[in-house]
Structure 1
Amino acid sequence: MTTLVRPAQTSEGKGVGDSAVRPDGLLKVTGEFAYSSDLWMAGMVWATTVRSPHAAARIRSIDVRAALAVDGVHAVLTHEDVPGAKTYGMKVADQPVLAFDEVRYQGEPVALVAADHPVTARRAAELVRVDYELMEPVTDAERALDPHTRSIHEGPNLVRHVKIRHGDMAAARALAEVVVTGDYEVGMQDQAFLGPESGLAVPAEDGGVELYVSSQWLHKDLEQIAPCLALPPDKVRLTMAGVGGAFGGREDLSVHVHACMLALRLGKPVKMVYNRYESFFGHVHRHPAKMRYEHGATRDGKLVYVKARLVLDGGAYTSTSPVVIANASYFVAGAYAVEHAEIDGLAVYSNNPPCGAMRGFGAVQSAYGCESNMDKLARVLGMDPLELRRKNAMTTGTVLPTGQPVDGPAPVRELLDALRDRPLPETESSGDVRTLPGGVGNTTHGEGIRRGIGYAVGVKAIGYSGGVDDISTARVILSVTAGKPVLSIHTAAAECGQGITTVQSQIATTELGVTRVVVLPADTRIGDAGSASASRMTWMSSGAVQGACRQLTRELLRRAEAATGRNAAALALRDNAIVDIVHGEPVASIAEIVGSDTLERVYEYHHRPTEGIDPERGQGNAHIAFAFCAHRAVVDVDVELGLVRVVELAVAQDVGKAMNPLAVEGQIEGGSAQGLGLALMEEILVDREGRVRNPSFTDYLIPTIADVPPMPISLFEFAHPDSPYGLNGVGEPPTLSSTPAIVNALRNATGLDLPRIPVRPEDIALNLG
């Protein structure tokens, strides 16, 4: 059940605010949707990757002769065949296209094989002989920081140290009457998206290449690909192929350069598709983290200061680690007012798999640490954990540890109150084993089951921060087909399953009154739309499409005024017609006003400027906006077996404006489910040699429909003053608070500290046994 809570001043607009049907929905649930792995072209060849079995080794030599001798093999490429720059990267170009001096993690690409058939390519890849000189891998993040530890790259193994110093910590310590300290750890989580990495590269007649690929950010891909191919950007053209989810795992390159290299070498279309095993090595993961939190408070529960040290393991290459650790550090204090803060966030290199963007982008780790320590503080104070949160809840005007005041809505108390006032689920008494922890696989009948309740709140910045000029571009084209107006929308916005194409169509209907809307495929022939990340895409793309549509509106009303003699100020666009808003009557059809013309407008949308934080004290107005979500988890725990059933996961979230309420609900449910996975089951296990032990969905567990509980949702719409329609980001905040709410409920049920996630059965049963 979803409760939509709207302030009285919020108005409904046609199109925007409706639960519009997604055009890709039916195709996806019936299995007919064309993903990038379904691409096919006559004469194409198949490619695969030779990957390192070692996490740390020097490359002495690579022998490809046996692979080339296989019938049906067209090419085998190594680093010597890279036509341009040998390295690329999201923030720092430190990741080799193909390893040339050493390998720094298990699964690093070393060579490429193209053949007539994918099985032939894989068999030939097994014949590539690489002579490795093994080195001792560095797999412990704390050890990596030791100056005596071997460098993964030249220089220290520190990617970035974020320092935030706010207020007067010496004075704060004197004021604090109660101090609690906790050490917390987060495992490495995989995005577990639906479709593995895949793409089709096609050589072009002008010597360039066209790439059809699943991605989150086409223009950032282009920026990295073109130098590696030694081609100008206008000769590398990217088009978005069907994406089966992303969650940050498609921001970095995967098949992109490799497929293009082979296509240019062979003059043939080249298709690359990772299998699920290879996909675990082919994209970045969520950073594992070790954190120490210290909260100081007065005896009545008023927070005085927070001190924290966060160490995030970025793995072998930089990727987005510099901004992930910044984001984690920004929100160490959580959704609370704290006047004094001392925060140190460190991201490090290791020989573990590369880590980068994943839904929540660092704020997930710090939210878990903060919310866990808040419950610990509540226990020491003898205070209700919900009331402790309400007492310290952030409000509009609260100054963050970075010195920035929150100038938009900050309805933290309202979210908590909605959860407090929602009735708790009843205790099951049916005896149905499906309602017990462990389900039908359980070996007991309800003995030793305890119920727990836990709360958590999350806060995260929306959009790019730290002085980055966020941008989105849209082109809208209005024409008449079969006597009816048709609007085409062209952007590079990545549709990753979040529904941005539907929202764009809704905006066009709202702004122009045109009911026939076509959203063209996203590609690099239009200006940058930025990444489908940071919960920014709806905000930024809506601003671009709205701006372009409003330019067209002005032109249509100008023409209507000239054609009808009516004052343009008294006219509006509605239901494919020009309407006199005073008399409520149509005066002309849009088709008549457009005639045989094609009207086109391009609009480039920017959000308000931000600034970087200073390196010494971490102060600065780094963010454009903030989004908030709160969860209440109810769990049943079989303390004898350590099995857990999440009975209910209630959510309260401010979304600014629910552009498409049904899609918003889906985003919240999906983010909450990923948070549940991190709390109880999801972790990539990496041994001391840097080897991944569970690269399959047989051993890497994700929630199924049997694990996901009812999620009653309360949606609040506190309009943000700076965004189109007052909307705010939706996708990431549920991932922040769902995990700690579940673990806090487990602590409530068991009395255990449970400092590490995911919580495993042995963490409960062995400690209580």
Structure 2
Amino acid sequence: MTETAGRTARETRPPGVLGVGESAQRPDATLKVTGEFAYASDLWLDGMVWGVTLRSPHPSAWIRSVDVGPALAVPGVRAVLTHEDVPGEKYYGLELKDQPVLAVDEVRYQGEPVALVAADHPETARRAAAMIVVDYEPREPVTDPRRSRNIVRYQPVRVGDTFEADVVVTGEYEVGMQDQAFLGPESGLAVPAEDGGVDLFIATQWLHVDRDQLAPCLGLPPEKVRLTLSGVGGAFGAREDLSMQVHACMLALRLNRPVKIVYGREESFFGHVHRHPARMRYEHGATRDGRLVYVKADILLDGGAYCSSSPAVVGNAASLGVGPYVVPNVRVDATGVYTNNPPCGAMRGFGAVQACYAYESQMDRLAAACGLSPVEIRARNAVSQGSALITGQVIDSPAPLAEMLRELEAMPLPPPRSGADLRSLPGGVSQTTHGEGVRRGVGYGVGIKNICFSEGFDDYSTARVRAELVAGRPHVTVHTAAAEVGQGLVTVQAQIARTELGVEHVTVATADTSVGSAGSSSASRQSYVTGGAVRAACQAVRARFEGMPAREALEKFGPIEETREYRHRPTHPMHPETGQGDSHTQLALCVHRAVVDVDVELGLVKVVELAAVQDVGRILNPQQLEGQIHGGSAQGLGLALMEEIQVRDGRVLNPSFTDYLIPTVLDMPPMTLKILENPDPAAPYGLRGAGEPPTLSSTPAIAAAVRAATGRELTRVPIRPEDIALA
């Protein structure tokens, strides 16, 4: 059930033209539901061969030798490559070029790529890869981030000098390593070109940055490395980094024939980054009536073996480390370190998720210590428009957090549990319980998330829009490099074109690198930045209509094409010693209430209901927006109760969906949503990025509800049955 408030008027356009503000149907919807959608793993070319990666079994070891002879002797094997065969630079990386294309002399995590095999059949390639003889000299891995002295980034935030208060609560919290768990594993097809370059058809989030990392490693100029987006089966941050891209291209260029690489599920767990595990210590001080005086926080993030986007994740954790609350005195220390654990990088929520779990757990402790309700303690300290974050940045657009909390609190609670239906109980129809040990709990969570890239990153997008007559009717083609990763961006681009040009027939061209960069499909930024670029290009086209209807203008002038870049307002790096600076473009808020039933004897949890209030500035597509809030809430539920990559001594113990559990439709409860529209005057259409904030606040809300039901402190997520039953 969804309710919206504060709707703005729709632009005037012809009847039947579904534009901004309406639930236009996704063009990929039917294909995906019927199983006919072409994902990158479905790519096929005659004459192609299959690539496979040999990976290290050790989290830390020297490589003394690599013997590829046994693999080359296997019939059907076309090539076996090691780091000595890399044609250009041997290292790449998003922020720091520290990651080898193939291991050079040593491996730093279990699963690091060591060699490549190409063969006529994927099973042949796998069998040959297993025959490569690598002489490893294992080393003692550094797996405890508290022992690491190799720092990726340290970011303090310092405000004020008063660190005494009437009421003080402290807590130590831990967040496990979560996987993005997209359903479509890494896959792509590399095709050598006649000009000596390569065309790569790939499931990714960031076409141009992939290209800019690939080209130096391949020893080619960027214009000879052409990327085209193929069907993406989910992303959530894990496709920002390279996986098999450079490997497929190396093999294709070596063999002068197409090469396809598709990871299986187990390899996917080793082939992409994960959410940073975190250890956090917080201290909150307040007046007796619950007004925050100070917050101290120590946030430690395990970045794993390579840098990836860890510096930006640390920056987010620091700048948003006390949440959307007014705090006059702050001492935050956020640190990311290298270890020999799997590399960590971008995942939905990007550093803000870990901090949110800790500071919201603290707000519940503070509420209890002050004798206030969880809603009241948050409302008394809530930011609003004009408030300053701990970085000194002033919130210059609507931020009605206190009102959102009151709206959430006023929503009716679900009715009491009926014991007649086993499906309503924790454990369900397995009949683990008949309700005798079941207790109900209610909890609240609040999250604040930055939208778009931060800290001075040159964040922009490019759009090319062409209007012409096709079969006598006006037709518009929108071309960007923005990756459709399942979020519905293709639909939104078409809606913007219809709104701005009043033309019903719109085609969104396949994203590729032949048009200017659109940046990454991450940071909840594409509707803002690529939406802004599409809008600007459409407005430039419309200006050339000279006030005439589209058909008349195109009959008179012929095809009209315009390309525009869109940049949001500038951001600035955080000061390295004080953490001060206007580091973020836009901020988004979401609040959750969770209702859970817990079998306190068996430790089983059933989430009965999730309710959420979120301010999105302006709704572009109501149905897609609801899907984003539901999806983000589901990933937050997974982090709260079930999702964790188990790593012991640097080794992953559960690289499969049998052992790594993700929420299914049976785990997700009914959701009640209230979506507010308080436009941001600086953003296109007043919109506010919406995909990530629900992931933040759903986790602490569920954890708080479980605490309320059990009376346990529960300072770690995911909460395991033994944390409840054996506490």
Interval containing the TM-score (normalised by the shorter chain): over 0.9
Q: 2:208, 2:519 within 8 Å by CA — same for their partners in 1?
A: yes
**Aligned AA (1:707):** D
CA–CA distance in structure 2, aligned partners of residues 430 and 346 of structure 1? 48
Q: 1:643, 1:761 within 8 Å by CA — same for their partners in 2?
A: yes
**Aligned AA (1:695):** P
Structural mapping, 1:544-563, within 5 Å: 544-557=533-546, 560=548
Corresponding residue number in structure 2 for 1:608: 569
CA–CA distance in structure 1, aligned partners of residues 163 and 532 of structure 2? 45
**Aligned AA (2:582):** N
CA displacement, residues 509-548 of structure 1 (integer Å, 9 cap, x when unaligned): 0000010000000000000101011110110011000000
Corresponding residue number in structure 2 for 1:630: 591
Alpha-carbon shift at residue 757 of structure 1 (Å): 0.4
Alpha-carbon shift at residue 753 of structure 1 (Å): 0.6
Corresponding residue number in structure 2 for 1:31: 35
Corresponding residue number in structure 2 for 1:2: 2
CA displacement, residues 311-333 of structure 1 (integer Å, 9 cap, x when unaligned): 00000000000000110111111
Structural mapping, 1:181-260, within 5 Å: 181-260=170-249
Judged with a 3 Å threshold, the aligned counterparts in structure 2 of structure 1 residues 86 and 13 are, in CA distance, closer, same or farther, namely farther
Q: 1:479, 1:596 within 8 Å by CA — same for their partners in 2?
A: no
- Please, which of 715, 718, 724 is the counterpart of residue 678 of structure 2? 718
- Please, which of 135, 140, 147 is the counterpart of residue 144 of structure 2? 140
**Aligned AA (2:664):** T
Secondary structure at the aligned position of 1:413 is classed as helix
CA displacement, residues 448-496 of structure 1 (integer Å, 9 cap, x when unaligned): 1110000011001111111112110000011111100110000000000
Q: 2:568, 2:585 within 8 Å by CA — same for their partners in 1?
A: yes
Secondary structure at the aligned position of 1:729 is classed as coil
Q: 2:11, 2:499 within 8 Å by CA — same for their partners in 1?
A: no
Corresponding residue number in structure 2 for 1:342: 331
Structural mapping, 1:7-86, within 5 Å: 10-11=9-10, 15-86=19-90
CA–CA distance in structure 1, aligned partners of residues 192 and 560 of structure 2? 33
CA–CA distance in structure 2, aligned partners of residues 101 and 127 of structure 1? 19
Q: 1:480, 1:596 within 8 Å by CA — same for their partners in 2?
A: no
Judged with a 3 Å threshold, the aligned counterparts in structure 2 of structure 1 residues 381 and 31 are, in CA distance, closer, same or farther, namely same
Secondary structure at the aligned position of 1:721 is classed as coil
Matching of residue 161 in structure 1 with residue 154 in structure 2 = yes
- Please, which of 382, 394, 397 is the counterpart of residue 383 of structure 2? 394
**Aligned AA (2:669):** P
**Aligned AA (1:64):** V
Corresponding residue number in structure 2 for 1:91: 95
Judged with a 3 Å threshold, the aligned counterparts in structure 2 of structure 1 residues 11 and 411 are, in CA distance, closer, same or farther, namely farther
Structural mapping, 1:85-124, within 5 Å: 85-124=89-128
Corresponding residue number in structure 2 for 1:482: 471
CA–CA distance in structure 1, aligned partners of residues 81 and 312 of structure 2? 33
Alpha-carbon shift at residue 750 of structure 1 (Å): 1.1
CA–CA distance in structure 2, aligned partners of residues 289 and 632 of structure 1? 24
Judged with a 3 Å threshold, the aligned counterparts in structure 2 of structure 1 residues 403 and 634 are, in CA distance, closer, same or farther, namely same
CA–CA distance in structure 1, aligned partners of residues 96 and 563 of structure 2? 32
Secondary structure at the aligned position of 2:678 is classed as coil
Corresponding residue number in structure 2 for 1:751: 711
Matching of residue 297 in structure 1 with residue 290 in structure 2 = no
Corresponding residue number in structure 2 for 1:731: 691
CA displacement, residues 345-396 of structure 1 (integer Å, 9 cap, x when unaligned): 0000000000000000000000000000100111111211111011111101
Structural mapping, 1:258-273, within 5 Å: 258-273=247-262
Q: 1:556, 1:594 within 8 Å by CA — same for their partners in 2?
A: no
**Aligned AA (2:535):** Q
Corresponding residue number in structure 2 for 1:646: 607
Structural mapping, 1:493-572, within 5 Å: 493-557=482-546, 560=548
CA–CA distance in structure 2, aligned partners of residues 44 and 612 of structure 1? 46
Corresponding residue number in structure 2 for 1:365: 354
Q: 1:480, 1:591 within 8 Å by CA — same for their partners in 2?
A: no
CA displacement, residues 207-259 of structure 1 (integer Å, 9 cap, x when unaligned): 00000000000011011000000000000000000000100000000010000
Q: 2:454, 2:572 within 8 Å by CA — same for their partners in 1?
A: yes
CA–CA distance in structure 2, aligned partners of residues 433 and 527 of structure 1? 56
CA displacement, residues 488-508 of structure 1 (integer Å, 9 cap, x when unaligned): 000000000000110000000
Alpha-carbon shift at residue 428 of structure 1 (Å): 2.0
Corresponding residue number in structure 2 for 1:565: none
**Aligned AA (1:258):** H
Alpha-carbon shift at residue 684 of structure 1 (Å): 0.1
CA–CA distance in structure 1, aligned partners of residues 692 and 24 of structure 2? 22
Alpha-carbon shift at residue 29 of structure 1 (Å): 1.2
Structural mapping, 1:443-454, within 5 Å: 443-454=432-443
Judged with a 3 Å threshold, the aligned counterparts in structure 2 of structure 1 residues 13 and 416 are, in CA distance, closer, same or farther, namely farther
Alpha-carbon shift at residue 648 of structure 1 (Å): 0.2
Unaligned runs of 5+ in 2: 14-18
Secondary structure at the aligned position of 1:343 is classed as strand
**Aligned AA (1:183):** E
CA–CA distance in structure 2, aligned partners of residues 713 and 609 of structure 1? 33
CA–CA distance in structure 2, aligned partners of residues 672 and 630 of structure 1? 11
Corresponding residue number in structure 2 for 1:575: none
Alpha-carbon shift at residue 296 of structure 1 (Å): 0.6
CA–CA distance in structure 2, aligned partners of residues 428 and 10 of structure 1? 42
CA displacement, residues 32-86 of structure 1 (integer Å, 9 cap, x when unaligned): 1000000000100000000000000000000000100110000000000000000
Secondary structure at the aligned position of 2:544 is classed as helix
Alpha-carbon shift at residue 595 of structure 1 (Å): 4.6
Alpha-carbon shift at residue 11 of structure 1 (Å): 4.5
- Please, which of 320, 343, 354 is the counterpart of residue 354 of structure 1? 343
**Aligned AA (2:85):** D
Alpha-carbon shift at residue 166 of structure 1 (Å): 1.1
Q: CA RMSD in A?
A: 1.0
State TM-score, norm by structure 1.
Answer: 0.93
**Aligned AA (1:68):** L
Secondary structure at the aligned position of 2:177 is classed as coil
Corresponding residue number in structure 1 for 2:16: none
Q: 2:294, 2:328 within 8 Å by CA — same for their partners in 1?
A: yes
Alpha-carbon shift at residue 594 of structure 1 (Å): 3.6
Secondary structure at the aligned position of 1:84 is classed as coil
- Runs of 4+ that moved beyond 2 A: 9-14, 591-596
Corresponding residue number in structure 1 for 2:373: 384
CA–CA distance in structure 2, aligned partners of residues 127 and 395 of structure 1? 62
CA–CA distance in structure 2, aligned partners of residues 594 and 220 of structure 1? 40
CA–CA distance in structure 1, aligned partners of residues 74 and 12 of structure 2? 63
